Amino acid sequence: MSVLLKVNNLAGGYYKENVIKGLSLKVNKGDFLVIIGPNGSGKTTLLRMVTRVLPVRSGEIFYQEKNIAQMNLKELCRKVAFVSQDIATGFSFTVMELVLMGRIPHLSRLQFETKRDIEIAEEKLYLTDALSLKDKRVDELSAGERQRVVIARALAQEPELLFLDEPTSHLDIAHQIQTLDLLKKLNRQNNLTIVMILHDLNLASAYANRIALIDKGIIFKEGSPEEVLTYQNIEAVYKTIVLVNNNPITGKPNVVLVPGEK
């Protein structure tokens, strides 16, 4: 399996503090990699660094053996898309206008969208159960609807690698499963490589082929759900008592919280 993204001894953060502290990680083509860890462990910071939102202080990031610092931003955006936690747009765009922004890396300067670009945007809205919203203003949507639209915009870029920062956080349970099922389908059928932050350990277990557990800016444990989601690893990092058994449907690890008061 070929390596799509390689992070070597990465360090960086905000102001004078390094949140990421010498972290190394490989993402293989076709991975569905979920990053987990406590609040403040560096998950979002890592995604911001590998997508060039946040500068790297030391270390290197390679996309298909090419240093991303040396890649043209438009070239990188044809390969990589990022769905952030912040789904505010700042302007009253229509849903279709917002999703068509995902086509910008594929257009030349001052070029208008083609019929094909509109077809791609509508296809991604349909996939995310948001086509009925296409003529609405983004600021009229619920948080969950906006989340689905922002994911559609990222898919409209037609990336090889998709980063998502807690994409289910604003969704009800039906749309959580629908969204993750869609991403898993795209991962398997379209060979879309996915790197995603999730707080729900059981969703991570159900969908990931690999999990990276981050603690204090470094990888504490990386591997299959069975290798990472042990009660020893979870208790060591999250400082809380859990039980881990097998999900009767998927056979994957199932994490059960143990209340402090009974």
CATH number for 167: 3.40.50.300
Confidence of residue 142 (pLDDT cuts 50, 70, 90): confident
Within a domain: 70: yes
Range of the domain at 249: 3-90+161-257
pLDDT (0 to 100) of residue 94: 94
Tokens (6 digits) for 234: 């979870």
Residue 111 has pLDDT above 80, yes or no: no
Residue 86 has pLDDT above 70, yes or no: no
Residue 96 has pLDDT above 90, yes or no: yes
Within a domain: 148: no
Using CB atoms within 10 A of its CB, is residue 261 exposed (0-12), middle (13-18) or buried (19+)?
exposed
Mean pLDDT of 234-249: 94
Within a domain: 180: yes
Label residue 216 left, alpha or beta by phi (over 0 means left) and psi (-120 to 50 means alpha): left
pLDDT (0 to 100) of residue 81: 94
pLDDT (0 to 100) of residue 143: 79
Residue 145 has pLDDT above 70, yes or no: yes
Within a domain: 128: no
Tokens (6 digits) for 22: 């010498």
* Residues counted in the chain: 262
Mean pLDDT of 154-183: 90
Within a domain: 185: yes
pLDDT (0 to 100) of residue 261: 64
pLDDT (0 to 100) of residue 89: 59
How many domains, in total, are found in the chain? 1
Quote the pTM value. 0.91
Residue 87 has pLDDT above 70, yes or no: no
Residue 88 has pLDDT above 70, yes or no: no
Within a domain: 51: yes
* Per-range mean pLDDT, top range of 68-77, 151-160, 163-172: 151-160
Q: What is the identity of the amino acid at 74?
A: K
